[in-house]
């Protein structure tokens, strides 16, 4: 039997035990509904369209905020790597804010921007920005000076050196910052969606909290949690892993595991 | 398929250093790397700079490359003062300094993409021409980490030759290679130099290497760096690093190097 099949068997047994335990009445069904009912709830939410709509709302918030964080974080990272004053000020601030769990931005966002999309965006940007900034700074500082010297002898100057030498040379570092930024942004957005129940645009956090917990729909809570996990895994597998593998292949670093 | 590019013939450059002085500021005070160094390299000449570490041989190379500026004195290429790096002077570094995010051809193309007046397809032909010259046609799509040390230096050589410079500056390019690979590269570099005539300034601490490659060997002494003696090497080419005549000449220069070091040590004591 191959590895995958074995692992699949273990999960099947666990799900079977969960289902059987429920049928035998070992625990309260309303607190831990059986997998069959969770699946049914998931299917219903999927076919009625509300789940996909919520995914769309959440992913669009995340996408916008992440892009802003990335586009602002990279140039600022270059700045702190190159200008001592920026490093002593902005760099220190970034380090501080990065240690702050990004959930902590939620109350501040509500007070500043109210129950609005801007609040959501703000929280995602704060989750992304500092990780990207610090990773870029670290990456730029780690570029071997010989690369820049070699490029200069070939006629490369300022902007060309920045875009064609320093940026690609620091890409492995920037990518790890992007992964971390994504993780922070994803977590903080869920928190924001739970606290800021925006009924107009219902995201996954809204479904989880307001539509699931408030009316005691435990099937829905579990179903949405599964979706959140699935999205996290998909982004890792479909976006970050391939990029990482391509980088490792080129640089000959690390182990490209599949 | 053989590339159909033939490089335009450019006249090799003439290098002149006149009374060059260079001081570096370090945490332990100023260190004079070069003191009144004068040197000239004729068009198409292959000159090797030899000396112990601290004699400023790499500093001379950096000055000619335009990566550094002299404190006083002049560095001239074809009669014009060097004000910065230029494609007429290409450099080969000890650690190859290839870019790991580009494949072999991409590395050779890097310098070419900055050369004005070259179309994209034409650049590719130029890159392939030089990859063929260094014998790496089959590795054009390989990444740097897939190459051996010797192959990396060949790529670096192709990259340096591709913009068709007038002067080639080589900073201990074979220093980190094993003996077998080095000997192979000696014959390659002589073959390439006879084909694409360049003025070459070659830095090394290996006297035998210098005698094997150079028309002239310039011996430098350290603290501060000065030109000590020059030796004309009138051996027929291509040269075998193990030929008897070459070995005895190398021994003579090594002896001179040793004497100069003793002299310097005695001066330091008095």
Are B253 and B48 spatial neighbours (Cβ–Cβ below 8 Å)? no
B179 is written with which tokens? Answer: 């003996």
CA–CA distance, A45 with A202 (Å, rounded to integer): 13
Q: How far is B143 from chain A (nearest CA, A)?
A: 6
Q: Give residue B4's pLDDT.
A: 67
Residue-wise pLDDT tens digits, B190-241? 999 988 889 999 999 899 999 999 999 999 988 888 899 999 999 998 898 8
Residues contacting residue B58 through CB under 8 Å, at least 6 positions apart: B171, B172, B203
Are B217 and B231 spatial neighbours (Cβ–Cβ below 8 Å)? yes
Residue-wise pLDDT tens digits, A214-226? 788 899 999 999 9
CA–CA distance, A157 with A159 (Å, rounded to integer): 6
Predicted ipTM of the assembly:
0.90
Are B15 and B201 spatial neighbours (Cβ–Cβ below 8 Å)? yes
Are A55 and A227 spatial neighbours (Cβ–Cβ below 8 Å)? yes
Which H or E run includes B124?
helix B120-133
Q: How remote is the C-alpha of A1 from its chain's centroid?
A: 35
Residue-wise pLDDT tens digits, B100-149? 999 999 999 998 988 888 888 889 999 999 999 999 999 999 999 999 99
Q: Give residue A230's pLDDT.
A: 94
Residue-wise pLDDT tens digits, A73-121? 999 999 999 999 999 999 999 999 999 988 899 899 999 999 899 999 9
Chain A residue with minimal CA distance to B64? A153
Residues contacting residue A242 through CB under 8 Å, at least 6 positions apart: none
Residues contacting residue A128 through CB under 8 Å, at least 6 positions apart: A65, A66, A68, A69, A70, A73, A181, A182, A184, A185
Are B82 and B63 spatial neighbours (Cβ–Cβ below 8 Å)? yes
Classify residue A132 as exposed, middle or buried by CB count within 10 Å of its CB (0-12, 13-18, 19+): buried
Which H or E run includes B91?
strand B89-92
Chain B residue with minimal CA distance to A249? B143
CA–CA distance, A126 with A119 (Å, rounded to integer): 11
- Interface touch A153/B90, C-beta < 8 Å: yes
Q: Give residue A254's pLDDT.
A: 62
CB contact A35 to B (< 8 Å): no
Closest CA to A149 of A163, A167, A161: A161
CB contact A146 to B (< 8 Å): yes
Q: What is the CATH number of domain A54-219?
A: 1.10.3720.10
Q: In chain A, where are the structural domains located?
A: 54-219
| Maximum CA extent, chain A | 77
- CATH of range B15-88+167-269; options 3.40.50.300, 3.60.110.10, 3.40.630.30, 1.20.1090.10: 3.40.50.300
Which H or E run includes B77?
strand B72-77
Radius of gyration of chain B (CA): 19
Contacts of A250 in chain B (CB under 8 A): 100-101, 103, 143
CA–CA distance, B111 with A160 (Å, rounded to integer): 12
Q: In chain B, where are the structural domains located?
A: 15-88+167-269, 96-164
Confidence of residue A30 (pLDDT cuts 50, 70, 90): confident
CB contact A174 to B (< 8 Å): no
- Interface touch B87/A155, C-beta < 8 Å: yes
Q: How far is B132 from chain A (nearest CA, A)?
A: 21
CA–CA distance, B114 with B79 (Å, rounded to integer): 25
Q: Give residue B110's pLDDT.
A: 94
Taking 60 as the threshold, does the pLDDT of residue B1 lie above it? no
> Coil, strand, or helix at residue B42?
coil
Are A202 and A218 spatial neighbours (Cβ–Cβ below 8 Å)? no
Can you give the pTM of this predicted structure?
A: 0.86
CB contact B158 to A (< 8 Å): no
CA–CA distance, B199 with A29 (Å, rounded to integer): 86
Classify residue B95 as exposed, middle or buried by CB count within 10 Å of its CB (0-12, 13-18, 19+): middle
């Amino acid at each position: 039997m191959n590895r995958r099949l074995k692992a699949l068997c273990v999960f099947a047994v666990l799900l079977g035990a969960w289902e059987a335990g429920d049928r035998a009445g070992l625990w309260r069904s309303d607190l831990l509904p059986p997998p069959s009912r969770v699946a049914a709830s998931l299917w219903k939410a999927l076919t009625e369209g509300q789940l996909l709509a919520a995914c769309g709302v959440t992913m669009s918030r995340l996408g916008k905020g992440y892009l802003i964080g990335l586009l602002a974080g990279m140039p600022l990272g270059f700045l702190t790597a190159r200008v001592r004053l920026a490093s002593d000020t902005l760099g220190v601030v970034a380090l501080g804010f990065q240690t702050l769990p990004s959930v902590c931005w939620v109350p501040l966002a509500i007070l500043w921007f109210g129950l609005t999309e801007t609040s959501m965006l703000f929280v995602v940007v704060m989750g992304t920005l500092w990780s990207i900034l610090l990773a870029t700074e670290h990456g730029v500082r780690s570029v071997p000076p010989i690369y820049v010297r070699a490029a200069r002898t070939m006629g490369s100057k300022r902007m060309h050196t920045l875009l064609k030498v320093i940026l690609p040379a620091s890409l492995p570092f920037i990518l790890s910052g992007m992964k971390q930024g994504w993780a922070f942004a994803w977590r903080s957005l869920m928190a924001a969606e739970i606290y800021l129940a925006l009924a107009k645009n219902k995201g996954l956090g809204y479904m989880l909290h307001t539509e699931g917990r408030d009316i005691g729909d435990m099937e829905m809570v579990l179903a949405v949690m599964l979706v959140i996990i699935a999205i996290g895994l998909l982004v890792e597998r479909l976006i970050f892993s391939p990029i990482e593998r391509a980088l490792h292949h080129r640089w000959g670093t690390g182990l490209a595991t599949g | 398929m053989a590339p159909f590019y033939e490089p335009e013939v450019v006249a090799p450059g003439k290098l002149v250093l006149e009374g060059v002085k260079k001081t570096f500021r370090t945490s332990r005070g100023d260190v004079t790397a070069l003191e009144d160094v004068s040197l000239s390299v004729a068009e198409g000449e292959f000159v090797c700079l030899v000396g112990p570490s601290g004699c400023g041989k790499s500093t001379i190379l950096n000055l000619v490359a335009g990566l550094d500026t002299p404190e006083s004195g002049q560095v001239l290429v074809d009669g014009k003062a060097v004000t910065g790096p230029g494609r007429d002077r290409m450099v080969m570094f000890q650690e190859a300094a290839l870019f790991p995010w580009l494949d072999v051809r991409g590395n050779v193309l890097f310098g070419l993409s900055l050369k004005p007046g070259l179309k994209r397809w034409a650049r590719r032909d130029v890159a392939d021409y030089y990859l063929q010259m260094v014998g790496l046609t089959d590795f054009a799509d390989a990444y740097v980490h897939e190459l051996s040390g010797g192959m990396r230096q060949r790529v670096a050589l192709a990259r340096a030759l591709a913009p068709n410079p007038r002067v080639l500056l080589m900073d201990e390019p074979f220093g980190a290679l094993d003996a077998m690979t080095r000997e192979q590269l000696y014959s390659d570099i002589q073959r390439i130099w006879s084909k694409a005539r360049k003025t070459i300034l070659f830095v090394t601490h290996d006297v035998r290497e210098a005698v094997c490659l150079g028309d002239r060997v310039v011996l430098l002494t350290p603290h501060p760096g000065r030109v000590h003696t020059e030796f004309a090497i009138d051996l027929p080419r291509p040269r075998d690093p193990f030929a008897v005549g070459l070995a005895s000449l190398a021994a003579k220069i090594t002896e001179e190097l040793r004497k100069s070091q003793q002299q310097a040590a005695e001066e330091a004591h008095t």
